[in-house]
Structure 1
Amino acid sequence: MGRNDGRPRLVAYGQNAEDVVLMRAFADRRNGFFVDVGAGEPVRGSLTKNLVDRLGWHGVNIEPLPERFERLRRERPGDVNLRAAVDTRPGTATFYRVIPGGQPPDMLGLSTLEPEIAGEHDRDGADVEELEVTVVTLESVLASHAKPGFDLLKVDVEGREAAVLASADLAFWQPRVVVAEATVPGSPEPNHQTWEPSLLAAGYALALFDGLNRFYARDDEPELLARLSVPANVWDRWIPWACARRAGLEP
Structure 2
Amino acid sequence: MSITSYAQNFEDVMLWRAVGHVEHGRYIDIGAQDPIIDSVSLAFHERGWHGVHVEPTFHYAQLLREQRPGDTVIQAAVGDSSTLLPFFEIPGIGISTADAKIAEQHRQRGFDIREVTVPCITLAD
TM-score strictly above 0.5: yes
Taking the aligned partners of 2:52 and 2:17, their CA distance within structure 1 comes to 21
**What secondary structure sits across from 2:124 in the alignment?**
helix
Aligned to 1:89: 81
- Does 2:27 correspond to 1:34? yes
**What secondary structure sits across from 1:34 in the alignment?**
strand
Aligned to 1:131: 116
Aligned to 1:120: 105
- Residues matched between the structures, number: 125
Taking the aligned partners of 1:76 and 1:63, their CA distance within structure 2 comes to 13
Taking the aligned partners of 2:81 and 2:17, their CA distance within structure 1 comes to 35
Report sequence identity in percent. Answer: 38
- Deviation string for 1:197-223 (max 9, x for gaps)? xxxxxxxxxxxxxxxxxxxxxxxxxxx
Aligned to 2:13: 20
- Which of the residues 50, 61, 83 maps onto 2:53? 61
- Deviation string for 1:148-177 (max 9, x for gaps)? xxxxxxxxxxxxxxxxxxxxxxxxxxxxxx
Taking the aligned partners of 1:77 and 1:10, their CA distance within structure 2 comes to 20
Aligned to 1:71: 63
| CA shift for structure 1 position 89 | 1.6
| CA shift for structure 1 position 61 | 0.2
- Does 2:98 correspond to 1:106? no
Q: Give the alignment's Cα RMSD to 1 decimal.
A: 1.4
Taking the aligned partners of 1:122 and 1:134, their CA distance within structure 2 comes to 23
| CA shift for structure 1 position 10 | 2.4
Letter in 1 for 2:8: Q
| CA shift for structure 1 position 27 | 2.1
More helix by share: 1
Q: Any runs of at least 4 consecutive aligned residues in structure 1 with deviations exceeding 3 A, and if so which? A: none
Unaligned runs of 5+ in 2: none
The structure with more radius of gyration: 1
| CA shift for structure 1 position 32 | 1.1
TM-score, normalising length from structure 2? 0.93
Aligned to 1:170: none
Unaligned runs of 5+ in 1: 2-8, 99-104, 141-251
TM-score, normalising length from structure 1? 0.48
